[in-house]
Amino acid sequence: MGKTNLKTELETGLERVEEIIEGYKERGEEGFLIQLLLDIQSEFNWIPREAIARISERLRVPKSKIYRVASFYEAMSLTPAGRHTVQVCLGTACQVRGAPKILDRLEERLRIKEGETTLDRRFSLRRVNCLGCCAMGPVVVVDGNYHGKITPAMVAGILEKYA
């Protein structure tokens, strides 16, 4: 990817941030910071530094306050995600059905810890506290596709499906 390309990407990205901010300002609701950050998270799959700077400017909220909110919540990420997001459910039901072994296997296979992204940006590994499909446990979700009743031996095969 060339430099100019990156730059336009950043600019269109920031335009989108601008739109999201405007959407909330127009409705004139109070206390929408969390909702706004959630929208940005789902738009970009993380919350870029530039977006935080822009929100701070436009809403006249100190950056520190935005960082505080963004780092508090599980659903918001301050680092960019890989092409594929692997979520391992570690809700209690999956826990007692062997999820820790699945997480171990994923970490060994991808050579990263949960919360990290592989160097080639292919996978991000995240643990989640219950996806509420406990009948399928242990569950691994890759890019929204559910893989249920997983055993450690199945891990490698699942990852291979996602290039």
Partner 1 sequence: MRELRRKIVAGRDLNKPFITLCSGTACHATGSDAVAAAIQEELEKQGLTEQVGVRRTGCHGFCERGPILVIYPEEICYLGVTPEDVPEIVSETIKGKRIIERLLYAEPSTGERSVHEQDIPFYKHQTRLVFKGNLWIDPTKIEDYLALGGYKALAKVLEEKTPEEVLEEVKRANLRGRGGGGFPAGRKWETTRNAAGEPKYVIVNCDEGDPGAYMDRSIMEGNPHRVLEGLTIGAYAIGSHQGFVYVRQEYPIAIANLGVAIEQAKEYGFLGENILGSGFNFDVKVHRGAGAFVSGESSALMNAIEGKVGEPRPKYIHTSESGVWDKPSNLNNVETWANVPLIIAKGADWFNSIGTEGSKGTKIFSLVGTVNNTGLVEVPMGTTLREIIYKIGGGIRGGKRFKSVQTGGPSGGIIPEQFLDTPVDFDELTRLGSMMGSGGMIVIDEETCIVDLARYFVDFLCDESCGKCVPCREGLRRMREILEGVVAGRGKEGDIEMLEEIGEVMKKASLCALGTTAANPVLSTLRYFRDEYEAHIAEKRCPALFCKDLISYYIEPEKCVACLLCLKNCPEGAISGGKKKVHVIDQSKCVKCGICFDVCPPKVRAVKKISGVPVPPPVPEAEREIERRKVRSGGERRR
Binding of residue 97 to partner 1 (CB under 8 A): yes
- Residue choice 47, 84, 91, 140 for contact with partner 1 (CB under 8 A): 91
- Asked if 109 touches partner 1 (CB under 8 A), the answer is yes
Nearer residue to partner 1 within complex by CB, 48 or 152: 152
Give the Cα separation of 107 and 112 in Å (integer). Answer: 5
If you write DSSP's letter for every residue of 95-123 in order, what string do you get?
HHTTHHHHHHHHHHHHTS-TT-B-TTSSE
Q: Is residue 80 within 8 Å of 51, Cβ to Cβ?
A: no
Residue with tokens 């950050």: 37
Q: C-alpha angle with apex 140: 134 to 142, nearest 5 degrees?
A: 135
Which of 137, 140, 150, 159 is in the footprint of partner 1 by CB under 8 A?
137
74 binds partner 1 (CB under 8 A): yes
**CB closer to partner 1, 82 vs 91:** 91
Q: Give CA angle at 85 (11, 89), nearest 5°.
A: 140
Smallest distance from the beta carbon of 153 to partner 1, in angstroms?
A: 5
Site residues (vs partner 1, CB under 8 A): 29-35, 37-38, 68-69, 72-76, 90-93, 95-97, 101, 104-105, 108-109, 128-137, 139, 146, 148, 151-153, 156
